[in-house]
Amino acid sequence: MAEASAISKLMRIPVGFATVLKTLLKKPVTVQYPDEQRPMSARFRGRHHLKRYENGLERCIGCALCAAACPADAIYVEASENTNEQRFSPGERYSKTYEINMLRCIFCGYCEDACPTNAIVLEPIEFPTGYTREGMIYTKQMLLEVPPTGTPATPQVTQPGTFDRPIIPFPAIDSSV
């Protein structure tokens, strides 16, 4: 009994080597993050982005409903008034300060749900990282996406009467399709 177990114990060594050798030839399952990234589900909630309209105006109107919906109290918004000479968003109001504390954020996406203009979107393309606590507070400039090519950044100078309303109604859902 004792001898047999000694042999089987010895046998484990080549078996072990064989496993190592087998694995050496296999492609590893880990990736070299962040140089290399795995594709995420399209619905994955990564870092927040503040979206723009096609003409470059910001979608965010500074209503702070995202901050109200946030269960972690991670969002801080201060609003100010648009003028035609300095227009950031359609309507009268835009967000002057928009900050998200990524350390507090739990990526629940409630802010997306609360947003009346679809301005804030959690997208699976970037993940907040940083070395300092201060650096993890993302400011509006960090969150705002770049204007579409060919459109000016905000603030823009606009014609009076063109952007009077803050909320462009969503197109009716076509139930026939």
Partner 1 sequence: MADLVNLTIDGKAVAVPKGTLIVDAAKTIQNDIPVFCYHPKLKPVGMCRMCLVEIGTPKMDPATRQVVKDDKGVVVIAWQPKLNTACTTPVSEGMAVRTQTTVVSDAREDVLEFLLTSHPLDCPICDKGGECPLQNLTLEHGPGNSRFEYENKQHNAKHVPLGDLIYLDRERCIQCSRCIRFQDDIADDHVLQFHERGRHMEIITLSEPGFDSYFSGNTSDICPVGALTTADFRFKARPWELGSSPSVCNHCAVGCNTTLNTRLDTKTGINEIKRVMPRQNEQVNEIWLCDKGRFVHHYTRAGDRLQKPLIRQNGQLVETTWERALDLVSSKLLGASSVAAVIGDRIANEDAHLLTKLVNSNAKGETRLSPALPASYADLARDYGVGVGFDMKQLGKGDVIVVVNGDVEEQAPVWFLRLRQAVVDRGAKLIVSNHRGTKLHRYAAHIARYEQGMAAQWAAQTDDAALSTEELTKARNVLFVFGDEKLDAVSARGLAQILVGKLVAAGQIGKPNSGLLPLYPHGNTQGVFDIVAGTRHSGNPGVLSVDVAWLVGVGDTSDAPKARFSVVSELFMTALASVADVVLPALSFAEREGTYTSGDRRVQRFYRALPAVGQAKPDWWAVQEVARRMGFVWNFASPAQIFTDLAANVSYYSGLGYEVLAKTESQWPPVGRDDLYYGGTGYENDGGIGVRYASNPSVISAPTLPKMITSMSDLKGPARKLYQTGELIKRSDVMQTHIE
Q: Point out which residues bind partner 1 (CB under 8 A).
A: 61-65, 67-68, 76, 78-81, 91-93, 97, 99, 116-117, 164-167, 169
Looking at the DSSP bridge assignments, the partners of residue 123 are 47
Of 134 and 164, nearer to partner 1 (C-beta) is 164
DSSP per-residue codes, 86-103:
SBSSSSSEEEEEEEEETT
Q: How far is the CB of 61 from partner 1 (least distance, A)?
A: 5
End-to-end Cα distance, the chain: 74
Of 24 and 172, nearer to partner 1 (C-beta) is 172
Q: Nearest CA to 93 among 113, 73, 75, 119? A: 119
Of 127 and 136, nearer to partner 1 (C-beta) is 136
Of 45 and 140, nearer to partner 1 (C-beta) is 140
Helix (H) or strand (E) segment spanning residue 50: strand 47-50
Separation CA 143–CA 99 (nearest Å): 8
**Contact call for residues 93 and 82 (beta carbons, < 8 A):** yes
Q: How far is the CB of 80 from partner 1 (least distance, A)?
A: 6
Separation CA 132–CA 177 (nearest Å): 50
Q: How far is the CB of 125 from partner 1 (least distance, A)?
A: 27
Of 78 and 126, nearer to partner 1 (C-beta) is 78
Q: How far is the CB of 135 from partner 1 (least distance, A)?
A: 17
Q: How far is the CB of 83 from partner 1 (least distance, A)?
A: 10
Separation CA 29–CA 76 (nearest Å): 40
